Amino acid sequence: MKVQATILDRQYKQYEQEYKQAAIQALESGCYILGSRCETFEQEFASYTGSRCCVGLNSGQDALTLAIRALGIKEGDEVIAPANTYIATILAITENGATPVLVEPDEYYNLDASKIEGAITEKTKAIMAVHLYGQAANMKLIGEITGKHRLYLLEDCAQSHGAAFEGRMTGTFGDIGCFSFYPTKNLGAFGDAGAVVTDNEELAEKIRMLRNYGSRRKYYNEIEGVNSRLDEIQAALLSVKLSHMEELTQERIRAGRYYEAHIKNPLLIKPGIRDGADHVYHQYVVRCKERDRLQNYLAGQGIQTQIHYPVPPHLTECYTYLGYKEGDLPVAERYAKEVLSLPLYTGITEKEQDYVIEKLNQFTV
């Protein structure tokens, strides 16, 4: 048997007719940028997350970048972020000229809140909480710290659509929540797409201007902006998927719990779940000290896996100028050497999972 790491068209086929109808209606409308479908999705997604405002953008990367820009964070400022995040989080900080200050992750693969205060300086302007793999960071403690030190709180929710902490959805704890709708995400588009959510109307309006060349009105540019707009076709398709979000989320949770219940190999560390948090399983990530050997073994059995992520941002070539060296962030570095994402996607079958589980449980060193 062959099991792929992800298969996107299975989810498409579940609601194929709805997607086709939405796409055709968008095409026939004659309006393709900043029209009624984008507005409708923005309203729907704001309601889904429990936010007052949503602004649709071209990508999750742009959501992060424009959120930081809208808060006025710039050169000379510092933003605290987790050391094991995807590099897009860090790129958004440096794109604005600010300096990322990296803090180790905790046992749940999110920013270790107990280490944040030790990284705060007079230059610190914000904390970027990343809800990695589908589980919320410790937002209670992080929120207390940002309040105490009067810092902005941003949330990178690229992997946490629908995840909650103490009953409140990710993206709604801080000043701005940033979402990616890349096709592999739990709420994925059929191309690049993203959005921010916020309760601050002024911030939302500023991001609306930033996404559209810095203008509220065509050809009247108030600030320096960019071109980052959620197009009408993607918005229409996202509205369809959002209407099925509960069932899609429950399917991922069932698949994640199935792995949890049946993987028994003591060589593997399964993901824990934080008190007060749930897990929507954007990824099901195990750790193994013999990760590379495990991945090669699974590949030989026809099982495709992925590593999220093999190189922590502070050790990437592009960030050598930050001055970090190997050994500076040992927890993040250890995770990079041990994490392995198992196949998990909408439409994965129990038979496929049973095969993955069987081979995992047979793995030895």
Reported as a single tens digit per residue, the pLDDT across 169-195 is 999 999 999 999 999 999 999 999 999
| Closest C-alpha to 335, from 102, 105, 131, 88 | 105
Q: State the residue for tokens 């792929």.
A: 4
Q: Using CB atoms within 10 A of its CB, is residue 28 exposed (0-12), middle (13-18) or buried (19+)?
A: exposed
Residue 77 is predicted with a pLDDT of: 98
pLDDT score, position 10: 96
What's the pLDDT band for 110 if we cut at 50, 70, 90? very high
Q: What is the pLDDT of residue 276?
A: 96
Domain with CATH 3.40.640.10 in the chain: 10-103+110-243
* % the chain with pLDDT above 90: 100
What confidence score (pLDDT) does residue 138 get? 98
Residue 272's pLDDT is 97
Question: Which alpha helices (DSSP H) does the chain contain, by range?
Answer: 9-14, 16-29, 36-49, 60-70, 87-95, 139-149, 201-211, 232-243, 245-262, 291-300, 330-338, 350-362
SS in 3 state form for 51-98? CCEEEEECCHHHHHHHHHHHCCCCCCCEEEEECCCCHHHHHHHHHCCC
Residue 306's pLDDT is 98
pLDDT at res. 38:
98
Could you report the per-residue pLDDT of 68-109, keeping only the tens digit for each?
Answer: 999 999 999 999 999 999 999 999 999 999 999 999 999 999
Average pLDDT value over all residues in the chain: 98
CA dihedral 244, 250, 256, 258 (to 10 degrees): -130
The per-residue pLDDT for 112 is 98
* Mean pLDDT value of segment 27-31: 97
Regarding pTM above 0.85, the answer is: yes
Taking domain 10-103+110-243, whether its CATH number is 3.40.50.970 is answered by: no
pLDDT digits 0-9 by tens, 48-62: 999 999 999 999 999
- pLDDT tens figures, 201-229: 999 999 999 999 999 999 999 999 999 99
Q: What is the pLDDT of residue 15?
A: 97
Give the containing element (helix H, strand E) for 180.
strand 176-180
Per-residue model confidence as pLDDT tens digits over 276-302: 999 999 999 999 999 999 999 999 999
According to the CATH classification, is domain 245-362 in 3.90.1150.10?
Answer: yes
